[in-house]
Amino acid sequence: MLGIDPRDQETEPGVREFPFDERRAADFEYFLSHDLDAALQDDLRLGDLPAGARIVPAVGETSPVGGFDRQAGLVLARHLGVPAVRFPGGHNGNMTHPRAFAARLTEVLGAAVSPQWSREGHEPYRS
């Protein structure tokens, strides 16, 4: 669906592979049989977002340019009139670049709650 193949993703040094064991397989099966259909059939519209909602659209640096996940982040950013912030890795950068991802998340969320958060000061992502 998203075109993600974890075998071909770069990782930061020292990251160990997470095996697709029975627990992960069961979680993935649950996602496919319950959550995926709900997400695909949801009728959420951008106009339904509450005014002033504090949302920080984000995209993975290595997500495919035409990929659904990157495009969703960019569309949301354009709708909100804010930049999409870049995170290390792709769709699952939290697993491929956990330290860099955590550092970026701390930076972004810290900026989002500070009084200085504005449309300026954050480098926008342009596809």
| Domain edges within the chain | 16-113
- Identify the CA nearest to 87 among candidates 63, 60, 62, 122: 60
pLDDT at 115: 57
- Which amino acid would we find at residue 125? Y
Tell whether the torsion through CA atoms of 82, 87, 91 and 95 is positive or negative: negative
CA atoms of 3 and 93, how far apart (whole Å): 15
Determine the pLDDT at residue 17: 79
pLDDT at residue 6, rounded to an integer: 63
pTM: 0.73
Q: What is the pLDDT of residues 15-25, one digit of tens each?
A: 887 778 899 88
Residue 83's Cβ-count burial label (10 Å; 0-12, 13-18, 19+) is: buried
Residues of the chain predicted below pLDDT 70: 1-7, 112-127
